[in-house]
Amino acid sequence: MNKLLAAIALGVFATTAHAQYRCVENGHTLLTDRPCTSEEGQSDQQPQGKPNKVFGDAANSAYTTSTGGWRGQTQYQATVSGAVSPEAHAVVQMTIEIDPQGKVIGASPENGCKLKGLATPGVTAAIANLDVTFSECSYNGFNRRMSGRLAVYSAKKYAQLSLSGVSIGVGKITASFDIRATMRR
């Protein structure tokens, strides 16, 4: 009888330790302990049930570290020979994934850009210093190595992505490239 009660208690404890999200993926509704990855499921991302007070709200803990998946509208800009380049400007959806070992991958399919590189720890777990290389971008100037950071703002439940790179000619900067985004889980 004690083993049965322990098993029931463990089962109840395990199901309340994580928030549950109702996500719609490929027309199917899924319950998961992670925020939805698809655009369809974003409107229904409130955890089901009450958060466990012992472990904290899983939705809030998703915004305490820079590792994991991020997505959001991203602005690409370039300045060439001191003038803003209109053909470089784009605002497109980007996804980025930072694994705990530091590998970074991402893409923004609307402008063809893919990225990969490394993340190193910042001052806190909520900041990642990024060193990434872009490839396959429709605007060729963005196909380069860039550096910056992803900083997570836990209370506001978003992260700010900031990347930049430059081209240097004979003794001067000939072009600068800037990528910025507000991203969410």
Same domain, residue pair 98 and 15:
no
What's phi and psi for 8, nearest 5 deg? -65, -45
Residue 7 CA to residue 14 CA, distance in Å, equals 10
**pLDDT value for 110:** 98
110-127 pLDDT per residue, tens: 999 999 999 999 999 899
Q: What three-state secondary structure class fits 86? A: coil
Q: Which helix (H) or strand (E) holds 23?
A: strand 21-25
The verdict on 44 and 100 lying in the same domain is no
**Are β-strands 173-183 and 158-168 bridged in parallel, bridged antiparallel, or unpaired?**
antiparallel
Question: Phi then psi for 41, rounded to 5 degrees?
Answer: -80, -5
pLDDT for 54 equals: 32
Cβ-Cβ contacts under 8 Å for 11 (sequence gap 6 or more): none
pLDDT of residue 62: 85
Domain that holds residue 8: 2-61
Q: Contact at 8 Å (CB) between 160 and 150? A: yes
Question: What is the average pLDDT across 21-50?
Answer: 53
**Tens digit of each residue's pLDDT (9 = 90 or more) over 133-151:** 999 999 999 999 999 999 9
What is the CATH number for 149?
A: 2.40.128
Q: Is there a single domain that holds both residue 89 and residue 177? A: yes
The answer on pLDDT for 107 being more than 80 is yes
| Bridging pattern class, strands 21-25 and 68-80 | unpaired
Report, in this order, helix, strand and coil percent for the chain, each rounded to 5. 20, 50, 30
Question: What type of residue is 179?
Answer: I
pLDDT at res. 60: 56
| Domain match, 22 and 97 both | no
Element containing residue 2 per DSSP (H, E): helix 2-16
Q: To which residue do tokens 């803990």 refer? A: 61
